[in-house]
Amino acid sequence: MANTEFHSGFVAIIGRPNVGKSTLLNRIVGQKVAIMSDKAQTTRNRIQGIYTTKDTQMVFIDTPGIHKPHSRLGDFMVKSALSTLGEVDAVLFMINADERRGAGDNFIIERLKAVNKPIYLVINKIDQIHPDRLLEIMDQYKDAISWADVYPISALEGNNVDELVATLKSKLPAGPQYYPADQITDHPERFIISELIREKVLDLTRQEVPHSTAVVIDSIKRQDEEKIHIQATIIIERSSQKGIIIGKGGSMLKRIGSMARRDIERLLGDKVYLELWVKVQENWKDRENLLASYGYRQ
């Protein structure tokens, strides 16, 4: 058999807001909403996307603290961001080719100096500039730190992105496939989100509704740049439970919604508009054909 060794690793994408980090992720991971997270990871870093091929898995993470200005909280965040960066296999530092090096970039660069991992300078939005300008911007950064490599790209149009991915791939160490291959295309966050909502239902109703209560995520869509729209249905087995969940004038459902929304926002790192519905479905758990329509899979 040919060499089938699997390679995998974590890649952090950092850079000032609006340089194009999400756009690059969406291009690499290949779907519009690259929202994805692992509950256990949310305090330190967020998984933003997973790229899987038959012999490679690249997990892209965000390290929120590295972008924050100085403050007491900022200090703590920066420390955890730095320890995260010490654990990844590569760091992509992204800049906008159309903007001069500024305080925000310097803030990050200062911190990157302490990071002993290959750091790639990714100069994005080259579609917007004249090639002369590219040399100028490269000059501004060339001695900032010792770059593993420099990639001028257009995340929007795709220029040079395959080359960047190929380089990252070739540098990944042998390792396991951390996540199922279909994870990013199958909205794995659905499960975590439904669990977060279910948890609030059980907590707030003080177990007056049974554990068999299910929450099904009907849709997750990006509403606009700032917000993700999530529709979910709480499925109960008896109509007598409906009143408990909805509460007087809808007050209970509102509380469930707002507490769940806060957790989901933390999970996804985005603003969320959460729409909750309640549906009675007797013995739903026994009806396999329904399970499929509720998005449960083996």
| Binding partner of 127, given ligand GDP, Mg ion, none, CB within 5-8 angstroms per partner class | ligand GDP
- Determine the Cα–Cα distance for residues 151 and 135; give it in Å rounded to an integer: 12
- Hey, CA dihedral for 60, 64, 69, 75, is it positive or negative? negative
Which partner in ligand GDP, Mg ion, none is near 148 (CB below 5 to 8 A by kind)?
none
**Residue 253 CB, nearest distance to ligand GDP (Å)?**
33
Segment 102 to 131, residues that bind ligand GDP, using CB under 6 A: 124-125, 127-128
Q: How far is CA 202 from CA 210, 213, 231, in A?
A: 8, 9, 19
Nearest 5°: the CA angle 222, 12, 161 is 75
- What does the per-residue mask of binding to Mg ion show for 4-43, with x meaning CB under 5 A? -----------------xx---------------------
The minimum distance between CB 23 and ligand GDP, in angstroms, equals 3
| Number of Cβ within a 10 Å radius of residue 250 | 11
For Mg ion, the closer CB: 17 or 249: 17
DSSP 93-157: EEEETTS---HHHHHHHHHHTT--S-EEEEEE-GGGS-HHHHHHHHHHHTTTS--SEEEE--TTT
Q: Nearest residue by C-beta to ligand GDP?
A: 20
Q: Which does 124 bind (CB under 5 to 8 A by kind): Mg ion, ligand GDP, none?
A: ligand GDP
In the bound state with ligand GDP, the residue whose beta carbon lies nearer, of 164 and 236, is 164
CA dist 148 and 126 (Å) reads: 20
Name the residue nearer to ligand GDP (CB basis): 145 or 156.
156
Q: Residue 49 is encoded by which pair of tokens?
A: 């996307």
Q: How far is the CB of 97 from ligand GDP (least distance, A)?
A: 8
Question: What minimum distance in Å lies between the beta carbon of 31 and Mg ion?
Answer: 15
CB half-sphere exposure, 85, CA atoms < 13 A: 28
Q: Tell me which DSSP letter residue 174 carries.
A: B
- Calpha distance 234→213 (Å, rounded): 7
Please give the residues from 8 up to 27 whose contact with ligand GDP meets the rule CB under 6 A. Answer: 15, 17-23
241 makes contact with ligand GDP (CB under 6 A): no
Q: Considering CB under 6 A, how many residues would be counted as binding ligand GDP?
A: 15
- Which CB atom, from 21 or from 125, has the smaller least distance to Mg ion? 21
CB of 106 to ligand GDP, least distance (A): 17
Asked whether 220 and 189 are in contact (CB, 8 A), the reply is yes
Are residues 234 and 278 in contact, defined by beta-carbon separation less than 8 angstroms?
yes
Of residues 144-163, those binding ligand GDP (CB under 6 A): 154-156
Q: Judged by CB, which is closer to ligand GDP: 36, or 276? A: 36
Enclosing H/E stretch for 217: strand 214-222
Please give the residue ranges that form the binding site for ligand GDP (CB under 6 A).
15, 17-23, 124-125, 127-128, 154-156
Please give the residue ranges that form the binding site for Mg ion (CB under 5 A).
21-22
